[in-house]
Amino acid sequence: MSKIKYQSLTGMHDVLPEDQVYFKRIQKVVESVSNSYTFEKIETPILEFAEVFQKAVGDDTDIVGKEMYTFRTKGGDMVALRPEGTAAVMRSYLEHGMHNLPQPVKLWYIGPFFRYERPQAGRFRQFHQFGFEAIGDASPSIDSQIIQMSYDVLKELGFKNLTIEVNSIGDSECRPYFKKILTSYFKSRRSSLCSDCQRRLKENPLRILDCKEEKCQRVKAGAPQIIDHLCEKCHAHFKEVLEFLDELELPYTLNPYLVRGLDYYTKTVFEIIETSEDGKNLGTLSGGGRYDNLSKILGGRDTPACGSASGMERILSLMKTREMKTGPKQEEAKIFLAQLGQLAKRKSMKLFEEFRAAKIPVAESFSKDSLKAQLRTANKLNIRWVLIFGQKEALEDFITLRDMDTGTQKEIKLNKVVEEMKNKIKK
């Protein structure tokens, strides 16, 4: 077989009909949880000024430094395909003066995002995420609510053995001092770090804690912990968050080296991971944290905020592999509409719309002309009731109902057919 001339770009993928049922299920659960907590949906453009992400996420992050799709428009603007959702939501919050609304402003989103990274199992250059953002409230209860919502979605989708890893990374008051301690620790072990982390040591030593390279993991294991160096305010905030999680009986563990790889995070950070029966980490399904500095970074006033994001492809892949439920199936048609001749075909299409308006699912083969072929299709679909609309029926405004189980037929007036079929399928 010769190679197909056009294929999807590397790292991009088609979401085929068999996967759409999973996407639909995820969206339905996200929407349900959002409604329970009175979060409202927001959609931001796929294209933003590149500076929104450069400022918010950080120039020395992998996302901005290596993975962002940027280009100049014909007008000369430098724009980017959005690599994440929080910065764009905050830009929208500031642009539309949402600080004038009752706070916190609680928003959720779902959609495609883009990162130029090496495609591998479960990772794509165009991928989908859903996220929750609560902007305008500094209370630790908001942190726990965002964690609870992210956890609820995964539980409702059928995931078990979930653990929340949680940490505090302090704020602008206590973090600079901790960075000095951390830099001193890593400097004395510089030769044991990967080349990326040797660069990070100059730019942002906290990034080293996020490195997945095995050699860096070994060095990290003995590093000082930020939790021991939090200022009084951050310590009190984190203590309250943990008290809320205890009250909610959520399964959490402290991970003193969890930092999340974006510059805008402050105080609480978390990841929800799935573990095997023997406690082995099977990977992160959701993550987020507090980002109290982001508004100011983007030119707004001081505005506390907290949010989370979850990658849909990874969730979908696990649901598919484990044959997890996708919710109730679409109601199957119990009626088949067959037609013969152009006049009958036209009238059948109108009748089909009447059934649709009455919310009665009906199968059809409008593209086929042969009655034999249409009855064969009805048989394959295991449909008992077939409505036959021929030339005579179309001219005299009636339809022939055939019972495929018994072979018996009867005529029904066209204006009575929807009501009569509704009663039949109820029985």
Same domain (yes/no): 386, 285: no
pLDDT at 52: 93
Q: Which long-range contacts (CB under 8 A, 24 or more apart) does 185-189 make?
A: 185/222, 185/223, 185/224, 186/219, 186/223, 189/219
217 within some domain: no
Average pLDDT rounded to a whole number, residues 381-406: 90
170 within some domain: yes
Residues 67 and 339: their CA atoms lie apart, in Å, by 55
Residues 133 and 111: their CA atoms lie apart, in Å, by 15
Q: What is the pTM of this model?
A: 0.83
Domain end residue (candidates: 288, 321, 354): 321
pLDDT in tens, 79-133: 999 999 999 999 999 999 999 999 999 999 999 999 987 766 667 899 999 999 9
The most distant pair of C-alpha atoms in the chain lies apart, rounded to whole Å, by 94
385 close to 336: Cβ distance less than 8 angstroms: yes
Task: Single out the residue of 290, 310, 260, 300 nearest to residue 90, CA to CA.
Answer: 300
Domain end residue (candidates: 265, 295, 321): 321
Residues 290 and 272: their CA atoms lie apart, in Å, by 15
| Lowest mean pLDDT segment, chosen from 25-39, 84-98, 223-237, 333-347 | 333-347
Same domain (yes/no): 127, 64: yes
Same domain (yes/no): 248, 117: yes
pLDDT at 121: 66
Peptide bond into 328 cis (omega under 30): no
pLDDT at 111: 96
pLDDT exceeds 90 at position 222:
no
> What's the CATH number where 118 sits?
3.30.930.10
Same domain (yes/no): 280, 354: no
251 within some domain: yes
The percent helix, strand, coil of the chain (3-state, each to 5) is 40, 20, 35
DSSP letter assigned to residue 2: P
Same domain (yes/no): 155, 235: yes
Same domain (yes/no): 381, 247: no
Range of the domain at 169: 17-174+230-321
Same domain (yes/no): 268, 415: no
Q: How many domains are there within the chain? A: 2
Same domain (yes/no): 249, 142: yes
85 close to 113: Cβ distance less than 8 angstroms: yes
The letter for the amino acid at 317 is: S
Report the relative pairing of strands 126-135 and 305-311 from DSSP bridges. Answer: antiparallel
The letter for the amino acid at 262 is: L
6 within some domain: no
Same domain (yes/no): 151, 288: yes
34 within some domain: yes
213 within some domain: no
138 within some domain: yes
Same domain (yes/no): 147, 252: yes
Residues 54 and 50: their CA atoms lie apart, in Å, by 6
Same domain (yes/no): 25, 107: yes
141 within some domain: yes
> What's the CATH number where 366 sits?
3.40.50.800
pLDDT at 350: 86
Tally helices (H) and strands (E) across the chain. 15, 16
Q: What count of other Cβ atoms lies within 10 Å of the Cβ of residue 364?
A: 21
Average pLDDT rounded to a whole number, residues 248-261: 88
Domain end residue (candidates: 321, 345, 377): 321
pLDDT exceeds 90 at position 134:
yes
pLDDT exceeds 90 at position 321:
no
Partners of residue 386 on adjacent β-strands = 336, 402
Same domain (yes/no): 375, 245: no
